[in-house]
Structure 1
Amino acid sequence: MRLSPALRLGRRPVGRRGAAVVGEAAAVMGPPRRLPARGPGLVVGLVLALSWLGGTQAQGMCEPPDRLQSAELEEKFSTMNSFPIGSTVSYICRPGYVRIPGKSLTRTCGEDFQWSPTEELCTERKCKHPGELGDGFVNVTDLTFGSKATFSCRAGFRLRGASEITCVIKNEGVDWDRDLPLCERIPCKPPPSIANGHHTEAASYVYQTAVTYTCDEAPKGADPFSLIGSATIFCTYDADLNGVWSEEPPQCKVVKCENPKVENGKKTGGFGPLYTYRDSVMFECDPGYVMNGSEVIFCGEDNTWSPPKPTCKKITRSVCGAPEITHGVVIPAKSVYEGGESVQIKCSAHCTFPHGAEEMTVTCQGQNTWSSLQDCACGPMSSGLTPHINYGKVIDGQKPAYSVGDMITIECYTGYTLHGEARIQYIGENRWVPAVPTCQLSAYITAIICVIVAVIVFLAAFWAYKKFFAQNGKRDSTPCTAEYKICKA
């Protein structure tokens, strides 16, 4: 058996591509011609030329595989620069990734000099769901390595701990880099103490805790203390979620106003020898006099009457006192009006004049007489009703009717989730703040219902399918009738 020159020199065959390259070289050099015997040096030169023309592909080699995001070559393959066709390399998953079930961690150099497979060999590890946050909310869009979970608290609470955690590599796996935070009810400092008074005590002072102030008893024979300001304050919070009290505490001090007297007038209410904070007195003028000022005055915290005491002016032929109107206001408001002067009277909310109008104009006719003066009649004031909560109920504070400031607490039935604030306050005109919440079916119950519906649809489809083929089977197995036999013949 004769060997080719390449085999005799101990080199591998150049393969198909190498043969093609040789052919191209031959075409360039022209038709073959007999060469004089030059010895082995000529053969060696020809082999080197063919090796140079064929390159790496002529020898059937793959270049190093592309870098994968999820895996890296084992160390023994990472330093190699070329790989023969059919050779296989092994990978290991990078930190934060895990092998895809059923997928091999190897790649092979194919005859097309490409590595297969081309897709990723590993997938991202996943952290467990961080769990629920009491009195707060968890926002998680993904659980894969590198993803984040953020936290927030409902009104009146603030986070204690990190507001964001990240899924990171930990203990040869992945886990969250921090512990779950807590939502704590926003605390306030203890309520301020006041002179000559005290407040109610509480085990702790946190969001919505209320305290009430009371003045101390005055020593025997001394004037009593008056509470100036709001008696009750409550714990709330500012824009930075720091606990603050709703307002400054009240004051306890002695307030005394002098006994008021009005010339040409008299008291009709508020009789007494001593007047303290918020005591009131009502006056009326004697016949033939008209009042200039307010008929009711109050003892203020600065020991003076507010508004100032009225005066009584003698009625002349050409003037009128302010028209007395029930459930309405006079525009413009004055104590004395000249004869012929007109004013507008506007009824209060939910009130009208007997003929249905809400406003009317009257004119001073002198001698304290007004033309067409009528009182406003008012219908019943509407009070708030208990809001209707679908799939929920009021568990605290429910009444047949509500006044401004009343509060109720709402709870959803089992299987439903509350969307909104559970505790709301009535502000009048059948309105609540915050808005009345709703109860919506929880995601878990929704998933169960979807599964049940899917099973019912599947069973219905299976029943129709079975019935259809049962009828076709009966039709095919029915004995031939006479007409059928005739047609068949």
Structure 2
Amino acid sequence: MDECSMGAPCHASATCTNTVGSFSCECEAGYTGNGEQCTVESCSPPIGSDLMTFNPSNLLNYPINTIVTYSCVTGYEIEGNNPLSCDEGGLWSDDEPTCVDIDECDQTSEPVCDENASCSNLVGSYMCMCNDGYIGDGQSCNQITCPHLDDPANGSLEPPLTEDPSVFGDTVNVECEPGYSSSGNTERECQRSGQWSGVPFVCNDINECVEDTDNCDINARCSNNEGSYTCTCNNSYRQVGEDCELIVCPTPPVPDNALLVSSSRRQWLLNSVARYRCSTGYTMVGGPTSTCQESGDWSEQPTCVDINECELNSVRRPCDPSALCENTEGSYTCQCNEGYRGNGIVCELIICSTPSQPANGNLISDTPAPYLLASSVEYTCNTGFSLLGSASATCMETGVWSTPEPTCRDINECLDPSISRCDDNASCTNRFGSYTCTCNNDYSGDGFSCTRTFISFYRSSTF
């Protein structure tokens, strides 16, 4: 039996094929089903995504040969085959494409950002950011500049700014003059805002004395000045370079013919006073003191000049009125006048004692007593006596006679025939102050003349 001709239950869009003892239904091309039920053959609807659309997108079914075109949202591009067609069997000609991010920054043919900007790729987009030192939306970038800065008072900028504008990233430091320091920031930078960072530079005076940055000596006072300071040595100290040195004068000089009264000090400090007095025989010219000065030297010392004692008035004159005064350096000499003796300070008239007349002699003087210096006397002896000692004497400066008083002694005339004059035939007998001649026996005469006689008698002559 031919079920196909007998109205087999095949779908209208199916082909019925009779078989032995049965039949088969097969959907026609373009349809799918078991033959008894056939529906138009189509591909599953495209899926798409948030990033990808397709067209047509309003069909319930996508019949065979339907062509679908895909497109991506801005910033993405299709990766895969596009368009796709619905092929027989209800299959799409290829897998559905995907939308992948477009790297706009990699498109060098026509840069999307300003030449002074950096491009950052984003998912589905990109971002242009102006480089450091530039400002703008990235599509257009202008260089960031900051206003010109002037040197602060008492300072300067480093590096010095030129007429060219300062640009972003430029830094400038302040260098204050010696004696000044920067308050607040010491560096400013040109920022993205086109303004300098920090606050304006200010160079303030440094109070070195308060901050203990001075180099004053420990024995000095520090005084702050604008931009500097001064060191003043304390009392009794003086400036030697940067140091303060205790003012010590050397041992006071002692002028000629002077004596230092205050000489027991170990140190002669500032304003120490040295006192002087003159040696005996000198008088002082100038004040009796000298002062240790800030220079470490002594003020002028006095001088001691010789006193001419001989010119002093009669009350103070040192010599006796009967003396000659002779001034010497630092002293004087007194010499008694001629006819006086003594030390010159006291002089007495030179008087020799009155000499005695020698026994058996005579004293002869042209001047009467008293016998003064240089007075002279002479001595003589009587006949029959001879002078023993000097026949003259002079009154000397010592107040004594130049020679001792002589004596008159008896002359032994018998010893000197030239004196006795006795005859050769007589014998001589000495007498005190005289002598006798006696003729020898057998002679007669006065002894001075004797003649031989034969008459025996004795006769003598006495003189």
TM above 0.5: no
Q: TM-score range by the shorter chain?
A: 0.3 to 0.5
TM-score (norm 2): 0.32
Structure with more strand by fraction: 2
TM-score (norm 1): 0.31
